[in-house]
Amino acid sequence: MALALQICVACLGPGRLGEVAAIERALASSDISGDADLHRIACGETCKSPARLWLQSDGGASYIFEGVDLDADRDDIMATLRCYLASPKGWIEDARPCGRLRFCLTARVPA
C-alpha cells in the first residue's frame, strides 16, 4: 500500500518550510521510505491552526490532522505512518503509539 503524507504549506508560509524539509529527510532515511511519500500541497489557507496534514492511500483509510507542530511532532508523525502501514487498510485501532498526533486528529474516514 503506497501511503501519501500531504502537508499544507500554504498555512505555514515560507518561513516554516524548513520544518517540512526536516520531515522529508526523516522519511527518506527511515525504514518506510519506499512505502510513504511526502507531498507539499496548498489547500487554500483554510486551516484553523497550522499545520494541517493528511494521510491517504488507494483503498485505505484517510486521516486529517490539524494543529500539528512539525518539529516537535516529527517522531509522532513517523510513528503514525508506521502504524498506518501496519494496519489493515490503514485503519489504526490503537493510536497510542502515535503520541500527541492522536489529539490533533480532526477526521478519520474508512477506506
Q: What percent of the chain has pLDDT over 70?
A: 95
Give the pTM: 0.92
Tens-place pLDDT, residues 17-58: 899 999 999 999 999 999 999 999 887 666 677 788 999 999
Q: Where do the structural domains in the chain lie, given as residue ranges?
A: 3-109
Sheet holding 3-8, edge to edge: 36-41, 3-8, 53-57, 62-65, 105-109
- CATH entry 3.40.30 includes domain 3-109: yes
- Whether the pLDDT of residue 1 is over 80: the answer is no
Write phi, then psi, for 28 (nearest 5 degrees): -65, -30
CA distances to 14, 27, 40 from 109, in Å: 30, 24, 21
- 43 exposure class (CB count in 10 Å sphere: 0-12, 13-18, 19+): middle
